[in-house]
Amino acid sequence: MNIYPKLIMDALEKVRYPGNGKDLVTAGMVEDDIRIEGMKVSFSIVFEKPNDPFIKSVIKAAETAILTYVSPDVEIKGNIRAVAPEIIRPEPDELLPDVKNIIAISSGKGGVGKSTVAANLAVALAGLGYKVGLLDADIFGPSQPKMFNVEDARPFMEEVNGRELIQPAENYGVKMLSIGFFVNKNDAILWRGSMASNALKQLISDANWGELDYFLIDLPPGTSDIHLTLVQTLGITGAVVISTPQEVALADARKGISMFTGEKIDVPVLGLIENMAWFTPAELPENKYYIFGKEGCKRLAEELDVPLLGQIPIVQSICEGGDSGKPVALNPDTITGAAFRALAENIVVKVEERNRNQDPTQRVIVTVK
Ligand code: ADP
């Protein structure tokens, strides 16, 4: 006799799943992977949990139904697989339950353009249509209020669902809070690590960030207690490390990367960003001058097996955009704006790749003893 998938499905319609009283087909538990080779039939049944108490009895009942209603000669014993969703799920962040992705932006040393890149990346992500928040956690030089032209903003408290929350400043489609709004620059530098860490925790947990696709944290340069606290407080999706191609910067970038990948912190590194990759004069846009050396970050990325997410040239307008509070990423039609848009798109791809690898609907095969 010939066996068709329909015959198998008809037999499985006679089997009830005790968990909800429905038959296996109606309950959607039969995977679309029925294989028939002569009299040999194999397929999978999906259970909600790997430790579902009915796995064994349901598989037995399915075997019996096939032998009874299709043919006693079907080779089915041991050929039905039980599968269940993978139980390790990405935990939604407890402090920021409505935030999808948290990206730490860091650099091994100061002055490589970390804050400039963070601001432009935030603006570029918002330009791509994402809901974006930016926390300026750089206590040594909080520069985001200036770059977002909100230096005079004094974030106020607002009651949200019975809680008093700090309302972030907002410009260019980016919600932003900076440690610079609350302390003057000279005081912040003198803070002990724990004071700064606590203040930052408050800016995360007691602020009305709302729903965000991307929450960027502009970290202080180097490695410190603040990094440790933040990564232990938040479920960070991934870190990006910014460096110039210069040897001294690369040495520190290497330390930064190993901090994230180290046992204590263990945050995935999404990649390296090369800032000040080359100088291009406005009047000679085709010319590239490798002031800090050529492709240093590319080599480091290859050596450490992390992606190079983007290369941003030194251009006067990037510096001016920061100083005037109008990040170049606002205009993606310029060379500099396009460089930041490409960087943002690359980061989205990397984050989505990573999230896909942690897909909560991924299935595991359950061994039936
Ligand atoms: P960091 O946050 O690493 O200390 P900043 O973002 O404050 O560095 O940048 C340091 C200085 O370099 C700022 O004056 C900034 O405007 C300038 N800068 C950063 N990146 C670029 C670039 N790609 N082209 C021109 N100037 C830049």
pLDDT (tens place) for every residue of the chain, 369 residues total: 889 999 999 999 999 999 899 999 999 999 999 999 999 999 999 998 777 889 999 999 999 999 999 999 999 999 999 998 765 434 556 788 899 999 999 999 999 999 999 999 999 999 999 999 999 998 888 899 999 999 989 888 999 888 899 999 999 999 999 988 887 766 766 677 778 888 888 899 999 999 999 999 999 998 877 887 887 788 889 999 999 999 888 999 999 898 888 766 778 899 999 999 999 887 887 899 999 999 999 999 999 899 999 999 999 999 999 999 999 999 999 989 999 999 999 999 999 988 877 654 556 666 665
What is the number of alpha carbons within 13 Å of residue 3 lying toward its C-beta? Answer: 24
CB 79 within 8 A of CB 40: yes
Is the CB–ligand 1 distance for residue 343 below 6 Å? no
CB 230 within 8 A of CB 217: yes
- Ligand 1 atom at shortest distance from the alpha carbon of 319: 16
Instruction: Name, in order, each residue with C-beta under 8 angstroms of 143's C-beta and a sequence gap of 6 or more.
Output: 115, 136, 180, 322
User: Which amino acid, 138?
Assistant: D
Is the CB–ligand 1 distance for residue 244 below 6 Å? no
Q: Report residue 291 as tokens.
A: 């002031």
Q: What is the DSSP letter of 138?
A: -
Residue matched to tokens 């489609």: 173
According to DSSP, the residues that pair with 80 across neighbouring strands are 43
List Cβ<8 Å contacts ≥24 apart for 21-28: 24/58, 24/62
Q: Report residue 192 as tokens.
A: 């002990």
Pocket test for ligand 1, best of 109, 115, 116, 328 (most atoms within 8 A of CB): 116
What does the domain layout of the chain look like in residue ranges? 5-83, 99-368
Query: Which of the listed CATH numbers 3.40.190.80, 3.40.640.10, 3.30.300.130, 3.20.20.70 matches domain 5-83?
Result: 3.30.300.130
Parallel/antiparallel/unpaired status of strands 163-166 and 308-314 = unpaired
- Please give the Cα distance from 142 to 114 (Å, whole number): 11
Is pTM beyond 0.85? Reply is no
- Please give the Cα distance from 352 to 231 (Å, whole number): 20
User: What is the model's pLDDT at position 77?
Assistant: 93
* Ligand 1 centroid distance, CA of 275 (Å): 9
User: Which amino acid, 326?
Assistant: K
Nearest to 104 by CA among 227, 209, 258, 203: 227
CB 343 within 8 A of CB 60: no
User: What is the model's pLDDT at position 258?
Assistant: 87
Q: What is the dihedral of CA 111, 202, 101, 229, to 10 degrees?
A: 70
- Length of the chain counted residue by residue: 369
* Ligand 1 centroid distance, CA of 115 (Å): 7
Is the CB–ligand 1 distance for residue 320 below 6 Å? no
Is the CB–ligand 1 distance for residue 111 below 6 Å? yes
List Cβ<8 Å contacts ≥24 apart for 336-343: 336/312, 337/124, 339/310, 339/311, 339/312, 339/313, 340/117, 340/120, 340/121, 340/123, 340/124, 340/310, 340/312, 341/124, 341/127, 341/128, 342/310, 343/117, 343/121, 343/124, 343/273, 343/309, 343/310, 343/312
According to DSSP, the residues that pair with 171 across neighbouring strands are 174
Is the CB–ligand 1 distance for residue 273 below 6 Å? no
3-state secondary structure 235-265: CCCEEEEEECCCHHHHHHHHHHHHHHHCCCC
* 99-368 placed in CATH 3.90.79.10: no
Is the CB–ligand 1 distance for residue 276 below 6 Å? yes
Q: In the structure, how many helices (H) and strands (E) does the chain have?
A: 11, 14
SS3 289: strand
Is the CB–ligand 1 distance for residue 339 below 6 Å? no
